[in-house]
Structure formats: C-alpha cells, structure tokens
Amino acid sequence: MAGRGRAPGFGVLISAVVAVCALLVSLVGCGGGSASDRAEGEVRRLLDRRAAAVLDRDLAAYRSTGSTVGFGNLRSVPLAAWSYELTGLRLTGDTATADARLRYRLDGYDPAPVVTGRVLKLARDADGAWDVVSDRPAHQSAQQPWDQGPVRTVRGERSLVLGIGQSPEELRGYAELADRAVPAVTEAWGTRWSRRVVVVVPESLDDMAALLGSPASAYRGIAAVTTGEVGARATADRIIVNPDAYGVLGAVGRQVVLTHETTHVATRAHTHAATPLWLSEGYADWAGYRGTGRTPAEAAPELARTVAEGRGPRRLPTDEDFAFTGDAAALAQAYEGGWLACRLIAENWGEDRLGEFYRAVGAHPRRAGAVEGALREVLGITPEEFTERWRAYLRVQFG
C-alpha cells in the first residue's frame, strides 16, 4: 500500500519531465543546443566544403554547396590556401546571412594570407540543408579580382600578373616590366626581400578603385598603387594598376612606375608609421629613376618650374602634400621633392647610406624624432642643415 501510494506522484513527475523535455526539444533541442547553434555548425561545415572545392577545382563539389557564380573566374588563379571563418550569422526563417573572413594565399607568392570580409546569403534547399545563394564583399571591404570577371594569369620569371578584361599580350608586357623591376630594386635595396611581385591589372579606373575599396576619384591620374600592411614582416602585397593612367605613359614611364611600386614591396618591412611619405615615396622614385638617365629637369618638371621662378619650397614635403586634392601640380611637386631629397643623400653620402637611413627611420618607434635621429646618427647632420642643403641642391639642379 505504501508503495502504491507513491506511484501516482512518481508517474506525474515522469510525465512532467517528459513534457518539459518535449518543450525544450521544440525550442532548443533537448541536449542538442539551440537552433542557432545548430545552424552555425551547419554553415561552418558548408563553408569548409565550399573552400575545399575551390582548392580542389571541383565544380561538382562546389555546386553541391550552392551557387556556382564566380567559380570559373578563379580557374587560372594559383591558390595555395582558401578558407572561411564564420564571424556572424543572422537567421530569418529558411534564409540566413553569414558574415565571414576569407583567407587565401597565392601559391609561390604570398608569405601571408590576404584577409578580406565577405557576406554570404544562404537559403535552405528542399531537404533542409543550407545552400550559398551569393558571396560578395562585405561593407567597406574591397572586391577581389575574380569578383570582376574571369581572371587571366601570366607568369613571369619573377612576377605573377592577374588581369581582368586584358589580352594575354598586354599581360605579358606587364610581366616583362615587372621582371626587370625586381633585379633593379634588388640592386638598390639589397636581397633581403621576397624578390617576387604580384601585379593586378583590372579593366578600368573604376575597377581599380573597387579592388582598393575606395572611390575612383582618389586614383584618377595615379598609374598604380601597392597594397600591403605597413611594417609587416610577411604580407601579401599587390601592385594594382590604373590602366587608364598607365596606358598613356611611354616605355620609360611604365618601367619607372613598376619599379617604384616594386620598391614599396621590397621596403615594406622597414616602412612604419615613423616613415614620412617624402622618404617612402622619394626612395621609391629614386629606385625607379635610377639607371634611366633621366635628369632632374626631365623627371621633376613642376619643381623645376617653381624653382626657376624663384618660388622654390622652403621645407620638405609633408604627408598632407601627398594627398590627392585635385591639384596635380602640387602633388607632383611633393613626389619630385621627395625624390630629390633621396637623390641628394645618394649622391653626397652614398647609395648604401641612403638605404641605411631609410631603415633607421623605420626602426624608430614613433614619428616624432625618427627623421631627426636618423639624420644625426646616419648622416651626421641636423634637420635644419639637411633642409638647407636640399634647397641649395634644388637651386643647383634647376637654376
């Protein structure tokens, strides 16, 4: 009797537990985590499969993850790594938006991965599995070359050229110039850099700007720029060409531009926040013009004109002078002034001492005192004395 007396209460308790567990199953999955957690796991596995399909060049496997848009654009791109890191997931019924970091490396060229934000739209298929509907750059993230169309690849001896909407002949021309730029920069800077470059040639100025995640107005008239993390020991640098501005240059001008940008790749690890633009851009121009036979009057026409008119600069260019504000003449004078400052050092103290000066500035922990300390320690001169010698040098060159 005592045992039977406890039975009804025990049965009610069991029923209550079953009911609660059933309720939890419907809400979060009893013992299996929330619906959101399950979806995150499913999406991570989906992105892993999609990344593996890219690396394996497996169209069928890629198709099994959803949309194949853009897969063919990657066909000729030599990839050593490709992975997604899920950073956020927003669920809306049978659709979702995934935020992710894409990391990829070009085989034989990238010592570190490119990291870029992506937004993937997802939807459940008839079987309830997630499919990728679209994969686009995240807000404020730049496009990648394959976002703009099929990528054509040309390999040089020391270069890899990725082109969109460009002919093989045009891309081979870029590779030849890059192959000449690498040894020229090595002769000036030294061998302690990768001695390989990646050049990206989009179809237009607008496409170049999209690859940089900036408005086209910021690059109009600029033939090329180099991307990469300043001060990094290992970074995936890209020389991105503005085909509109580059196309109007002559043979020497094209070589100077690619050698200039290749210099930025070589000096990347020694270029820090302490390095003023007159030095980083001036050194790149010095390496670019080195050996071309171009005289200061030929290579620095804007500065030559102002000095001849008695309006020569009283100070070295500031970083603000290198901002593109629509005044092309002022911008040209900033580059020309930096180049001639580096040329002055190379002629009076020697090319090796110029490189030593560059490294000494970059080794400083902050901008304040960096140039002053390097001038004193490497060149044995004060900033005031150097500025006066630079101004006198301009008068000699253009007087």
| pLDDT 10s digits, 184-239 | 999 999 999 999 999 999 999 999 999 999 999 889 889 999 998 766 666 899 99
**Residue where a domain stops, chosen among 111, 141, 171:** 141
* 284 and 386 assigned to the same domain: yes
* 372 and 279 assigned to the same domain: yes
Structural domain span for residue 370? 272-399
* 233 and 171 assigned to the same domain: yes
Confirm whether 285 is domain-assigned: yes
Q: What is the mean pLDDT of the chain?
A: 91
**Residue where a domain stops, chosen among 121, 141, 161:** 141
> How many residues does this entry show for the chain?
399
* 289 and 360 assigned to the same domain: yes
* 121 and 195 assigned to the same domain: no
Q: How many domains does the chain have?
A: 3
Confirm whether 192 is domain-assigned: yes
* 254 and 277 assigned to the same domain: no
* 79 and 48 assigned to the same domain: yes
Quick one: pLDDT band at residue 10, thresholds 50, 70, 90?
Answer: very low
Q: Which helix (H) or strand (E) holds 303?
A: helix 301-308
Domain CATH code at residue 51: 3.10.450.50
Quick one: pLDDT band at residue 359, thresholds 50, 70, 90?
Answer: very high
pLDDT at residue 9 in the model:
42
pLDDT at residue 16 in the model:
41
Confirm whether 108 is domain-assigned: yes
Confirm whether 15 is domain-assigned: no
* 251 and 300 assigned to the same domain: no
Confirm whether 261 is domain-assigned: yes
Domain CATH code at residue 235: 3.30.2010.30
Reported as a single tens digit per residue, the pLDDT across 65-80 is 999 999 999 999 999 9
pLDDT(18) > 50: no
Quick one: pLDDT band at residue 2, thresholds 50, 70, 90?
Answer: very low
Residue 389's alpha-carbon distances to 47, 392, 399, in angstroms, are 60, 5, 15
pTM above 0.85, yes or no: yes
How confident is the model over 334-363, as a mean pLDDT? 98
3-state secondary structure of 173: helix
* 285 and 307 assigned to the same domain: yes
Quick one: pLDDT band at residue 147, thresholds 50, 70, 90?
Answer: very high
**Residue where a domain stops, chosen among 120, 141, 162:** 141
C-alpha–C-alpha distance, residues 251 and 125, integer Å: 55
pLDDT at residue 234 in the model:
65
Residue 286's alpha-carbon distances to 41, 89, 127, 253, in angstroms, are 53, 49, 63, 13
* 77 and 137 assigned to the same domain: yes
* 317 and 378 assigned to the same domain: yes
C-alpha–C-alpha distance, residues 109 and 364, integer Å: 29
CA 214, distance to chain mean position in Å, is: 12
* 60 and 154 assigned to the same domain: no
For the stretch 303-307, contacts whose Cβ atoms lie closer than 8 Å and that sit 24 or more positions apart, written own/partner, are 303/332, 303/333, 303/336, 303/337, 303/340, 303/394, 303/398, 304/397, 304/398, 306/333, 307/394, 307/395, 307/397, 307/398, 307/399
